[in-house]
Amino acid sequence: MVQIVYLDADGTLFHHEGYIPKSAFEAIRKAQEKGIKIVLCTGRQLVEIYGDMKKIDYDAVIAGAGGTVLVKEELLFDGRFSQEELERLRQYLERFRIPAVYESREGVFGDRYTKNAMKERLDLVCAGMSEKERKEHGMNLFYESVEQMDMEKIMQRPVSKISFLQTEKPYSEIYEDLHDAFDLIRATFAPLGPESGEIGCRGISKAAGMEIVEKYFGIDRQDTAAIGDGENDLCMFEHAGVAIAMGNAPDRVKEKAGWVTTGIDQDGIFNAFEHLGLF
């Protein structure tokens, strides 16, 4: 019997245009009334949980792809890169002129070069939109959440993940250069570009965060379900008792799921909860 549902954010719960479907709110409300625990399990940092995502009273939050685990106001885990790891990444990203956002539970930071690159992506992604649509778009919300800061000060922050934008250097080459010491996946936030990606601490993952949550609540992993749409959700699928992919997920993600629900715009979360018998 499912007692915990882990929900990815972008592309699963939260549409990149900046909203959560009404049917998803309804499904979560009904499930929580039955005593089901709802856990947001996202690559986003705590400060990036905003807008519609703040309207849900989660039983726990796994943020930064496992870098931060929070149950209500209780911090259970706070992971980060070592100073040596962070310096290696800084040098690499600057060498190849790769704009990158340095993320921590304290905030998300980028230097002037990164902010300018994000503005260019924003203009590209939101071309032709109305001012209201642009303001509410996920890329604009992300852009506004990134605090511009000198790299010297960024290096003093407890960084747990780095997201890099698409550049002339392909993701495959970045992966080959860095995967010896770090966990890399393609970015799950589409507006950053198909060659964008995320760099995480080795050993820190959504699945590791799930283990912490389950231990805290005293619930067996077999009594959990995970719903996601991206590559960084595959470890969730492997860990959870039930794995459900969104209809808008790429085929390589759907193939790893036990069941595929409809897309985010077709009541995907509601249909998944109904399939699980949560209400």
153 burial type by CB count under 10 A (0-12 exposed, 13-18 middle, 19+ buried): exposed
Residue 195 has pLDDT above 80, yes or no: yes
DSSP characters over 183-239: EEEE-SSGGG-TT-EEEEETT--HHHHHHHHHHHHT--GGGEEEEE-SGGGHHHHHH
Residue 190 has pLDDT above 90, yes or no: no
User: Going by DSSP bridges, is the β-strand pair 182-186/224-228 parallel, antiparallel, or unpaired?
Assistant: unpaired
The pLDDT confidence band at residue 105, using thresholds 50, 70 and 90, is confident
pLDDT on residue 47 = 85
pLDDT on residue 1 = 92
pLDDT on residue 161 = 92
Residue 259 has pLDDT above 90, yes or no: yes
Q: Residue 78 pairs with which residues in a beta bridge?
A: 68
Round to whole Å and give the CA distance between 60 and 73: 9
pLDDT on residue 196 = 97
Phi then psi dihedrals of residue 101, to 5 deg: -105, 125
pLDDT on residue 48 = 86
Domain pair 4-79+204-276 / 83-201, same fold: no
pLDDT in tens, 143-189: 999 999 999 999 999 999 999 999 999 999 999 999 999 999 898 78
Share of the chain above pLDDT 70, in %: 100
Residue 210 has pLDDT above 90, yes or no: yes
pLDDT on residue 9 = 96
Q: Look at residues 184, 214, 182, 210 and name the one whose alpha carbon lies nearest to residue 197.
A: 184
Give me 191's structure tokens: 């507006």
Residue 99 has pLDDT above 80, yes or no: yes
The pLDDT confidence band at residue 74, using thresholds 50, 70 and 90, is very high
Q: What is the mean pLDDT of residues 237-243?
A: 98
| Cβ atoms within 10 Å of 266's Cβ, excluding its own | 14
pLDDT in tens, 42-69: 989 898 898 999 999 999 999 989 999 9
Domain spans, the chain: 4-79+204-276, 83-201
**Can you name the CATH fold of 4-79+204-276?**
Rossmann fold (3.40.50)
The pLDDT confidence band at residue 203, using thresholds 50, 70 and 90, is confident
Residue 231 has pLDDT above 90, yes or no: no
pLDDT on residue 149 = 96
pLDDT on residue 187 = 87
pLDDT on residue 180 = 96
Q: What is the mean pLDDT of residues 74-88?
A: 95
pLDDT in tens, 5-17: 999 999 999 998 8
Average pLDDT, the chain: 95
Round to whole Å and give the CA distance between 59 and 122: 33
Return the CATH architecture of domain 83-201.
2-Layer Sandwich (3.30)
pTM of the shown model: 0.78
